[in-house]
Structure 1
Amino acid sequence: MKLSTKLNKYALALLVAACSTPALAKTNNGVGLGVAYDLGLGVTAQFRGTSVFVNSDSLAVDMRIENFSNDLRTVHAYIDAGGFYEDGGNIADNDRAGVRLPLGLTFGIAPSLQAYIQAVPHFAFSDNESKEGFGIDGALGVRLRF
């Protein structure tokens, strides 16, 4: 089955999840920009609980489901839900797309600087059966908050 056929099959479910998740999330005011290692080294941005990671061959978008913080609000634990796409290069069968559920911690380093680390369980769809299925990745990065 072609990857585009599989994506069409799950597009409606992803669209519904993307539209409903911000209503459930606790708002996170402000904008954050930085660098991260998620699906390779790239750029990360965050706006009100929606995180985006992008590099030359990958894209991930995650939306905050739940946010927990300590009394001083210097450490935050969070649960996000989202999706990703990875370009497989010259071989189209190596392209992957899927859903992910990042679980992470954010640390305040300075008033406008934060670092984060997360475990990223995901399920990938691909035309290449060896690239398909459940896996767990990790991510870490820093963001400057505005």
Structure 2
Amino acid sequence: MKSLRFALPLLAAVFSAPSLANGNSGFGLGVAYDLGVGVTGQFRGTSVFVNSDALAVDVRIENFSNDLGTAHAYIDVGGFYEDGGNYDYNDRAGVRLPVGLTFGIAPSLQAYIQAVPNFAFSDNESKEGFGVDGALGVRLRF
């Protein structure tokens, strides 16, 4: 039921997008697989990912574009939190450095893929340390 809180605003955004697509406010909303399946939002250089048991916030530190402006490479820095379920010692929090590519699919639709090196802290020693995750998503730009 927690994901229903995010699904309804996402559907409203999708259905209202044609009227908003002509203005470029720097805001995007979509779905992604990052720390599980969830909702992603972006406003200018700040990206947020959320689902029922994880949260990640990243800030853009570098952006590279091709000559046409249809593809972008970027480097972000941020943090994350993952709920470990019934046991608090399985919770993880840490820092991350997403490196990714963004592609324009349509004038107001973009897809992205990223590698996410991270360092996690946890009370459970097997859950902490350095790791590399990945993310894949689609955002509707307003």
Same fold (TM over 0.5): yes
Q: CA deviation at 1:29?
A: 5.3
Q: Partner amino acid for 2:113?
A: I
Normalising by structure 2, report the TM-score: 0.83
CA distance in 2, matches of 1:48, 1:40: 23
Normalising by structure 1, report the TM-score: 0.80
Q: CA deviation at 1:55?
A: 0.1
Matched, 1:118 2:95: no
Residues 63-101 of structure 1 show CA distances to partners (whole Å, capped at 9, x for unaligned) of 000000000000000000000000000010000000000
What's the counterpart of residue 37 of structure 2?
41
Q: Partner amino acid for 1:77?
A: A
- Tell me how many residue pairs correspond in the alignment: 119
Q: Partner amino acid for 2:121?
A: F
Q: CA deviation at 1:30?
A: 1.0
1:51 to 47, 51, 63: 47
CA distance in 1, matches of 2:73, 2:121: 28
1:92 to 88, 92, 97: 88
Matched, 1:31 2:27: yes
Q: Partner amino acid for 1:33?
A: L
Runs of 4+ in structure 1 over 6 Å off: none
Q: Which runs of 5+ in 2 are unaligned?
A: 1-23
What's the counterpart of residue 66 of structure 2?
70
1:130 to 123, 126, 133: 126
Q: Partner amino acid for 1:110?
A: A
Q: CA deviation at 1:128?
A: 0.1
Q: Which runs of 5+ in 1 are unaligned?
A: 1-27
Alignment RMSD (CA, Å):
1.0
Residues 32-90 of structure 1 show CA distances to partners (whole Å, capped at 9, x for unaligned) of 00000000000000001100000000000000000000000000000000000000000
What's the counterpart of residue 137 of structure 2?
141
CA distance in 1, matches of 2:33, 2:53: 13
Q: Partner amino acid for 1:113?
A: L
